[in-house]
Amino acid sequence: MLMRGVAAATLTVAVLTSTSVIVKAQTNADGAIVGKVSGDTKGSLTVESLSTGLTRTATVASDGSYRMGSLPPGRYKVTFAPASGAASVQEVDVNVGSSTAADFGGSVTKLEKFVVTGGLISPIDFNKTESSTQFTAALVRELPIGRNTTAVALLTPGTTQGDASFGLVSFSGSSVAENAYYVNGFNISNFRNGLSPSSVPFEFYEQLEIKNEAYTADYGRSTGGVINGTTKSGTNQFKAGVNVFVSPDRLSWKNADVNYRDSAGATQVYRYTGHSWAQSADANVYASGPIVKNKLFYYGLYQLRDSRSKSAGSTTYGESRNDSPFWGGKIDFYPFKGHHLEFTGFSDTQKSVSDTYGFTFATKTKGALQNTVTSNSGGTNRVYRYTGNLAEGLTFTGLFGRNKFNRTSSSIVDDKPLIVDARVGAPTVTRSGNGSLITTGLDQREALRADLEYAFSFRGTHRLRGGFDRESNTENNLQAYSGGISWRYVSTIPGYTLPAGGYGVRERFYRNGGAFNVKNNAYYLENNWTLPGERLLLRFGLRDEGFENFNGRKESIIQIAHQWAPRFGASYDLNGDRRTKLFANYGRYMLPIAANTNYRLAGGELYTQDYYLVNSIGSDFVPSKGAKVGTSTVFSDGSVPDPATVVDQNVKSMYQDEFVLGVQRSLNKSWNVGLKGIYRNLATSIDDAIMDYGLAAWARKNNMTLRPGAHAYVLGNPGRPFKFKFDVNGDGRMEDITLSAADVGLPAAIRKYYAIELSA
């Protein structure tokens, strides 16, 4: 895969459609309130949630600064009571992953907030160096966009809609498979191939944070972007409601038919979109409120879903339907001051049923049922989370989560062998069985995470953060031909001359499967240091990532430990008047090996091929086989390969380096403008590649005869040497093979991204 350079220029107008870009990373489901008190710093400072009654107190430092982190998103009342005189009160909104300012005292410039239709605009945030955009459910309801995370992410600069087949978003030049997705701090990404994460309806979300680039050391396993969501929670006020969304077919635009020209030059229909039809409807029922006032709260959502579609081609007509419901709920418990327990559970289980009929295009009539395919996706998710203020300035967060995702598909013809007629003189057509491999799949994730934060003063103020996260991911997968066998009628057989009028049949067996595990772990440490004078903020972060993939025998096939990923950032108040801000970031980001590599590369695959003459064909299209022609071809013999034969022994991790440099300027109370430059470089990639060309060259150099049918498929770094083991001459002994990049003949992957973003 060769990816050439990309240049981009983006103009973003964010007047009424988004909050400002504000991040001061907390744990990935919380926010913070920061500020400064002028004059009397001996008083007390208290924050209180207006929805749950949660109350926290903070100590004001000798320089008047304070910070209160790990706050659940929502609206808060901030009260400063000086040692003498009347108390001052402000109301502020806390967003996920961001810091909200609340200053007290006449000599301190108050950071005002202006409420506008559809959302709010905040001033420049001098408490951050990195980039992120927050969207609340209330804001998104006012915007004319789709009700999904992709539509929200596309509101941020540097994003592009990916292929419609995936329905995902590309961040800053990366593929749609390189993103990470979180719900209440739990990773719901697809570890099998990076696509189709767990599906959460927008009605379940309270806030979404979109991280385009320059994210902090507590985030990893992504070289694209991060979509971080928090769900709705109960409050002291009972709420319940119903809403219904309908997308009727009559209000949908109809595309033109898709045609092609056959070998004779005649126009043939490929897709008859004039006969297409699709509509969907969702109904949401929700309720929330207190179980014990100020202590225990609940939120629950049940979504009824119904989507149906019809489409016609030149010879087939399809109908599909999906009426699987979604349910989700959250429990919040505040047992005593400074401690918060959460449980989040939801099920995105879906079952889609598709019927295929014959279709006569000339008369536009539907024929007999040919097949019914049932495709499963989604599963149950459970997240347990604790946040505790252990001491002044010391906060701990722990999380444990489990996720299941069903990837099984089946059809009513799975028990019939796959039979394809590809003889000369007739169009290739499937006569029996399922044309796709029968797949039984179930993915399971277990995640454990802990984060510790300590705020202290020493030559300025510091916020020291550290933690770890571990995942044990298991891919259970079984694939086989329909009916266990595949027959293909042919008019020619390689290396054999058929008698006049005769024909043969190619017979194939395929089976592969097992349970394949991936273990990911990471540790990080980061310090956010605001120097005396509060004009310069420095962020020093370091992340240590590792992963290990296993084959069906629980043997390690690839392990890369200690992938060091530095993350640095700086923010500077240019004139000391809180109007002009310079910022810069550098970061390295890693991407682990997708779990489907374990299955494809190191499964117990059985794949054989034989040719036979055909005596006759039965009414069920099953052949009456004659003599076998030629020798058997064994692509895979069913054994699990030695890891040293399928993975480069010197494989390096895949990583991307990123640089961001920008400036923001406040023109007045209502307008900010900004300029930002972004550069991303994919330094190393990992891919599995055919080594046949290089093996032949190696055998010639070493005066050996390469055995007939020799074939090697090895995982490594394109553009670098490959080292692996292979039985070259078929004597049962493995040789140590080292191939140069030139021997392999695979160039290095190139992806460079340049962007200039102008914002207003």
Tell me: the pLDDT tens digits for 391-431?
988 999 999 999 999 999 999 999 999 999 999 877 778 88
Tell me the pLDDT band of 183, cut-offs 50, 70 and 90. Answer: very high
Cα 722–chain centre separation: 30
The pLDDT of residue 336 is above 80: yes
Which segment, 142-146, 263-267, 536-540, 744-748, is predicted with the most confidence on average?
536-540
**b/e burial code for range 92-117 (CB count within 10 A of at least 16 → b):** bbbbbbbbbbbbbbeeeeebebeeee
pLDDT at res. 112: 38
pLDDT 10s digits, 623-642: 999 999 988 988 888 999 99
pLDDT at res. 105: 75
DSSP label at residue 649: T
Tell me the pLDDT band of 27, cut-offs 50, 70 and 90. Answer: low
Q: In this predicted structure, which of 97-111, 259-273, 735-749 has the lowest mean pLDDT?
A: 97-111
Mean pLDDT across 454-478: 95
pLDDT at res. 121: 41
> What is the C-alpha to C-alpha distance for residues 289 and 240, in angstroms, rounded to an integer?
9
pLDDT at res. 425: 77
For the chain, give percent helix, strand, coil, nearest 5: 5, 55, 40
Domain 239-248+258-686+755-759 sits in CATH at 2.40.170
pLDDT 10s digits, 194-224: 998 999 998 999 999 999 999 999 999 999 9
In this structure, how many other beta carbons lie within 10 angstroms of the beta carbon of residue 668? 7
Please, are residues 155 and 221 in contact by the beta-carbon 8 Å criterion?
A: no
Q: Which two tokens stand for residue 246?
A: 């309908």
- Residues whose CB is less than 8 angstroms from the CB of residue 323 and which lie 6 or more positions away in sequence, other chains included: 304, 305, 306, 307
> What is the C-alpha to C-alpha distance for residues 123 and 586, in angstroms, rounded to an integer?
24
Using CA atoms, how far residue 145 sits from 10, 15, 314, 685, in Å, is 20, 16, 34, 35
At position 19, the amino acid (one-letter code) is T
DSSP run (H or E) holding 599: helix 596-602
Measured over the CA atoms of residue 193, residue 194, residue 199 and residue 200, the dihedral's sign is positive
The average confidence (pLDDT) of the chain is 88
Using CA atoms, how far residue 460 sits from 455, 533, 536, 567, 665, in Å, is 11, 8, 10, 21, 25
How large a percentage of the chain has pLDDT more than 90? 62
Nearest to 389 by CA among 41, 65, 28, 72: 72
> What is the C-alpha to C-alpha distance for residues 1 and 748, in angstroms, rounded to an integer?
8
Q: In this predicted structure, which of 10-24, 35-49, 259-273, 606-620 has the lowest mean pLDDT?
A: 10-24
Please, are residues 449 and 469 in contact by the beta-carbon 8 Å criterion?
A: yes
pLDDT at res. 123: 63
Using CA atoms, how far residue 144 sits from 10, 49, 181, 205, in Å, is 21, 31, 23, 17
The pLDDT of residue 126 is above 90: no
Domain with CATH 2.60.40.1120 in the chain: 22-125
The pLDDT of residue 560 is above 90: yes
Nearest to 529 by CA among 24, 20, 21: 24
Nearest to 660 by CA among 681, 639, 687, 645: 681
Tell me the pLDDT band of 272, cut-offs 50, 70 and 90. Answer: confident
In this structure, how many other beta carbons lie within 10 angstroms of the beta carbon of residue 27? 26
- CATH superfamily label, 22-125: Carboxypeptidase-like, regulatory domain (2.60.40.1120)
> What is the C-alpha to C-alpha distance for residues 267 and 259, in angstroms, rounded to an integer?
7
The pLDDT of residue 116 is above 60: no
> What is the C-alpha to C-alpha distance for residues 541 and 568, in angstroms, rounded to an integer?
6
Domain with CATH 2.40.170 in the chain: 239-248+258-686+755-759
How large a percentage of the chain has pLDDT more than 70? 94
Please, are residues 558 and 643 in contact by the beta-carbon 8 Å criterion?
A: yes
DSSP run (H or E) holding 696: helix 692-701
- Residues whose CB is less than 8 angstroms from the CB of residue 569 and which lie 6 or more positions away in sequence, other chains included: 129, 130, 214, 537, 538, 539, 541, 583, 584, 585, 586
> What is the C-alpha to C-alpha distance for residues 179 and 189, in angstroms, rounded to an integer?
8
The pLDDT of residue 118 is above 70: no
The pLDDT of residue 62 is above 80: no
Measured over the CA atoms of residue 580, residue 586, residue 592 and residue 593, the dihedral's sign is positive
Q: How many CA atoms, within 13 angstroms, populate the side-chain half-sphere of residue 665? A: 7
Is the entire prediction scored with pTM above 0.85? Answer: yes
Q: Which residue has the higher pLDDT, 670 or 489?
A: 489
The pLDDT of residue 110 is above 80: no
> What is the C-alpha to C-alpha distance for residues 58 and 396, in angstroms, rounded to an integer?
16
Phi, psi at residue 600, to the nearest 5°? Answer: -70, -35
Strand segments, DSSP code E, in 189-336 are 205-211, 226-231, 239-247, 258-261, 267-292, 296-313, 316-322, 326-333
Mean pLDDT across 95-113: 63
Residue 624 β-bridge partners: 616
pLDDT at res. 106: 54
Overall size of the chain counted in residues? 760
DSSP label at residue 27: S
Residue 330 β-bridge partners: 299, 344
> What is the C-alpha to C-alpha distance for residues 56 and 31, in angstroms, rounded to an integer?
14
The pLDDT of residue 655 is above 90: yes
pLDDT at res. 113: 38
At position 80, the amino acid (one-letter code) is F
> What is the C-alpha to C-alpha distance for residues 513 and 5, in angstroms, rounded to an integer?
38
User: Rg of the chain's alpha carbons, rounded to an integer?
Assistant: 30
In this structure, how many other beta carbons lie within 10 angstroms of the beta carbon of residue 389? 20
pLDDT at res. 119: 35
The pLDDT of residue 120 is above 80: no
Using CA atoms, how far residue 693 sits from 636, 649, 686, 748, in Å, is 19, 19, 19, 17
Task: Tell me if residue 204 falls in helix, strand or coil.
Answer: helix
Measured over the CA atoms of residue 168, residue 174, residue 175 and residue 177, the dihedral's sign is negative
pLDDT at res. 313: 80
pLDDT at res. 6: 44
Cα 26–chain centre separation: 21
Could you give the dihedral angle defined by the CA atoms of residues 598, 601, 603 and 608, in that order, rounded to the nearest 10 degrees? Answer: 160
Q: In this predicted structure, which of 10-24, 476-490, 597-611, 627-641 has the lowest mean pLDDT?
A: 10-24
Please, are residues 270 and 260 in contact by the beta-carbon 8 Å criterion?
A: yes
